[in-house]
């Protein structure tokens, strides 16, 4: 059940919620409780398979700052959505999910923040949990991937995020994150879907690296079944998969409140159908990033983010047979 209980920030290794797992007490240094939770009551940490973690960090944002407010806004939006997934044919409330709270970020210091995130994600994964991150800016994906041992990355995004530096002199930012991932892993372990915005430098780099990518109009022309087939064909070579959903992959008419909106985006139904046809037991982690509540007319981006998280929880439960609350 989607839930919230005492945060790890208040627990020791002997706590019944942690189950005496040695080393998890270290998380109390890096996680703060949230005043709200994602979709309702609380499953114990020990029985939950999915663990929600907010990452309220946006210090490298270059156009619309404010994604640090998204974890709170998305949690609030989730409370007003129905939980039954027609695609997965189950009620997401039956999935054991624990909302851990928010990472204690270091505002203005992306390296320190991502080091903390990497450590927390590694601890969660080591405890058998699947981290579900609510950003925050897109740099959080890098920290999560490092914490999970660098799984393959399936990324839904309007942008290539392949700049070497952005702004000038900054190597790790929301606009460079995929390039840093490729450098840490390989270009063959990345697939970008829904892209439609790039610099000449990024296009040249992508072509040189043979990066797999599909533009938003290619997704529309090919159709979800063919796109999903291509994703599954690519992902078959990897034991673990990380899924990152930058909300700007959606058309701004659906999600106006994002850090860097771009026209010609995907429809929410297209995105959810692709997730439904591609998520399986190999997913090791997932994030939804770049919602920007201060610029979000009607709260649409937060509502879509909450819907995506509810649906993916149900899909992951179905695909991985996640533990349910007794």
pLDDT tens-digit series, residues 224-248? 999 999 999 999 999 999 999 999 9
| Rounded Cα–Cα distance for residues 9 and 31 (Å) | 6
215-244: string of b/e by CB count within 10 Å (b at 16+)?
A: bbebbbeeebeebbebbeebbeebebbbbb
| Rounded Cα–Cα distance for residues 288 and 53 (Å) | 11
Q: Can you read off the two tokens belonging to residue 157?
A: 């995004």
Q: Check residue 18 and give its pLDDT.
A: 42
Angle (CA) 261-138-171 rounded to 5° is 110
The secondary structure element, H or E, covering residue 104 is: none
pTM of the shown model: 0.91
Q: At 286, is the secondary structure helix, strand, or coil?
A: strand
Q: Check residue 17 and give its pLDDT.
A: 40
Contact 150, 186 (CB under 8 A): no
Q: Check residue 23 and give its pLDDT.
A: 55
Contact 269, 280 (CB under 8 A): no
Q: Can you read off the two tokens belonging to residue 63?
A: 């156009």
| Rounded Cα–Cα distance for residues 112 and 28 (Å) | 16
pLDDT tens-digit series, residues 273-312? 999 999 999 999 999 999 999 999 999 999 999 999 999 9
Q: With 0-12 CB in 10 A as exposed, 13-18 as middle and 19+ as buried, what is 58?
A: buried
| Rounded Cα–Cα distance for residues 160 and 205 (Å) | 10
Interhelix angle 140-147/177-184, nearest 10 degrees: 20
- CA distances to 52, 87, 114, 216, 260 from 79, in Å: 15, 20, 29, 31, 26
Give 120's DSSP letter.
Answer: H
Number of neighbours of residue 303 by Cβ within 10 angstroms? 23
| Rounded Cα–Cα distance for residues 33 and 98 (Å) | 12
Q: With a cut of 70, list the residues of the chain below it in pLDDT.
A: 1-24, 26, 40-41, 320-326
| Rounded Cα–Cα distance for residues 279 and 244 (Å) | 12
Mean pLDDT (the chain) is 90
Contact 50, 97 (CB under 8 A): yes
Whether residue 167 is preceded by a cis peptide bond, meaning omega within 30 degrees of 0, is yes
User: In order of start, what are the domains of the chain with their CATH numbers?
Assistant: 2-320 (3.40.800.10)
């Amino acid at each position: 059940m989607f839930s919230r209980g005492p945060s790890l920030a208040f627990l020791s290794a002997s706590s019944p919620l942690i189950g005496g797992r040695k080393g998890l007490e270290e998380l109390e240094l890096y996680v703060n409780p949230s005043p709200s939770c994602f979709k309702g009551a609380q499953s114990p940490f020990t029985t939950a398979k999915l663990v929600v973690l907010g990452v309220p960090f946006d210090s490298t944002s270059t156009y619309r700052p404010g994604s640090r407010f998204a974890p709170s806004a998305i949690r609030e939006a989730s409370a007003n959505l129905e939980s039954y997934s027609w695609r997965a044919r189950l009620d997401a409330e039956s999935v054991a999910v624990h909302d851990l709270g928010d990472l204690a970020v270091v505002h203005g210091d992306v390296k320190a923040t991502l080091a903390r995130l990497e450590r927390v994600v590694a601890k969660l994964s080591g405890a058998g949990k699947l981290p579900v991150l609510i950003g925050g800016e897109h740099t959080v994906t890098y920290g999560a991937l490092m914490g999970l041992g660098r799984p393959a990355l399936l990324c839904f995004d309007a942008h290539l995020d392949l700049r070497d530096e952005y702004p000038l002199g900054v190597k790790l930012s929301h606009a460079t994150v995929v390039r840093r991932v490729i450098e840490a892993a390989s270009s063959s372990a990345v697939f970008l879907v829904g892209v439609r915005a790039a610099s000449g430098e990024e296009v040249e780099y992508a072509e040189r690296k043979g990066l797999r990518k599909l533009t938003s109009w290619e997704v529309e022309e090919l159709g979800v079944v063919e796109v999903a087939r291509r994703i599954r064909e690519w992902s078959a070579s990897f034991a673990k998969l990380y899924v990152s959903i930058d909300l700007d992959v959606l058309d701004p008419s659906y999600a106006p409140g994002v850090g860097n909106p771009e026209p010609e985006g995907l429809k929410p139904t297209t995105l959810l159908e692709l997730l439904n046809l591609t998520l399986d037991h190999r997913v090791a982690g997932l994030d939804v990033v770049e919602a920007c509540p201060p610029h979000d007319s009607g709260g649409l981006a937060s509502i879509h983010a909450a819907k995506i998280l509810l649906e993916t929880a149900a899909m992951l439960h179905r695909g991985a047979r996640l533990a349910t609350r007794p």
